[in-house]
Amino acid sequence: MNLVDVVRWLASLSWIALFGVVIFVVVRAARDRKLKTAIPMIVIVLVVAILMNVLSAGLVFIEPTERGVVITALGDGGVRQEGLQPGLNWIVPFFDRVVKYTISRQTYTMSIAHTEGDRQGDDSIEARTADGQLVRVDASVIFRIDPNKVVTVHIDWQNTYQDDYIRTVSRGVIRDAVSTYGIEEVYSSKRQELIDEMFTDMESRLESEGFILVDFVLRNIAFSPEYAASVEQKQIAEQLAQQAAFVVDQRRQEAEQARQSAQGEADAEVIRAEGQARSLLIQAQAEAEARVIQAEAEAQALELLGEAIATNPDVLQLEYISKIAPNISVMLLPGDTPFLLPLPEAEVNQLPGQ
């Protein structure tokens, strides 16, 4: 309870007190018991009651979410040019009165749904696009009164600004904006651009009349039944086309996977063949090197044998004997006779190297 409420309560109580004093004096007089202080008491209570009522009529408390417009009978064109600010204010009792306006956010909704809008029934905005298609638009306008222009709003619109101005202007702005776009642009490619255009146009119009546009919400766009059916068929066709494209892409991926798998197997075969060829080449090189080493060893052996024969001719005969099969026994005769006579019953010790 603020001070103004307290003063008003006291003013009401003072009138009750005055009424009570008058009754008390009348009762005393009826019983022939006059009260010498009756008249002064009534006057005092009357004066207090008048003062309290004057005080309560002159004090006005404005909430932080409000502004007050003073309607006056003392000139100034019937209204004070400055609105009352939040807090306790004083006006001329019985000559001024205050009309309070909220400066909090307000929402005005126009909807095709019968119970969602500020007006019962279908209150959507019917508009035609640039290509002649009929659409129905649901929208909400979120706004507030400019605290510095509350007197202007009162003079121009009073408390009818929602229906007489906000609703009328917003419907006109929506129709004008929709008429510059094609049907597909309205609901798809340029919807946000359409909303931005509506917001800019509506913001400038509301500002000129003392309102601040907080937000504009394009709730829904409904099409005619014929166009809605064609859009549905188009969407079905697009979905089928997308599905077919997906299947083709899937088959292409499968083919690519098969090709890559075959390529991988072929590459593996090539690698295996190269490995085998490299192994055979290494083996052939090793055998060739072994033959070269063997040939070098044989050549060195022949060279040593030749040197031995050159220094000792009997080595040639020893070499001859070593080449004879090990199961043949022979007898060597001394002298220059080149004959070798078999000795069937004799055993010759195998020479070194046999």
pLDDT of residue 320: 62
What type of residue is 125? I
CB 171 within 8 A of CB 136: no
Domain layout of the chain by residue ranges: 3-102, 106-223, 234-337
> Which of 53-57, 257-261, 274-278, 326-330 has the lowest average pLDDT?
326-330
For residue range 150-200, list pLDDT tens digits in order. Answer: 999 999 999 899 999 999 999 999 999 999 998 888 888 888 999 999 999
pLDDT of residue 337: 54
CA–CA gap between residue 210 and residue 202 (Å, rounded): 12
CA–CA gap between residue 209 and residue 145 (Å, rounded): 9
The set of long-range contacts for 75-79, using a CB threshold of 8 Å and a minimum separation of 24, is 79/151, 79/154, 79/155
Buried b or exposed e, range 301-313, using 16+ CB within 10 angstroms: eeeeeeeeeeeee
pLDDT of residue 333: 54
* pLDDT tier, 11 (very low <50, low <70, confident <90, very high otherwise): confident
Name the pTM for this structure.
0.59
CB 203 within 8 A of CB 215: no
Better pLDDT: 35 or 166: 166
- Mean pLDDT of all residues in 190-215: 94
Better pLDDT: 235 or 100: 100
Q: C-alpha distances in angstroms, 102 versus 61, 118, 238? A: 14, 18, 51
Is residue 228's pLDDT more than 80? Answer: no
- Judge residue 150's burial from the number of C-beta atoms within 10 Å of its C-beta, 0-12 exposed, 13-18 middle, 19 or more buried: buried
Better pLDDT: 232 or 46: 46
Is residue 201's pLDDT more than 90? Answer: yes
According to CATH, the superfamily of the domain at 106-223 is: Band 7 domain (3.30.479.30)
For residue range 79-134, list pLDDT tens digits in order. Answer: 998 999 999 999 988 889 999 999 999 999 999 888 888 888 889 999 999 988 88
- Judge residue 198's burial from the number of C-beta atoms within 10 Å of its C-beta, 0-12 exposed, 13-18 middle, 19 or more buried: buried
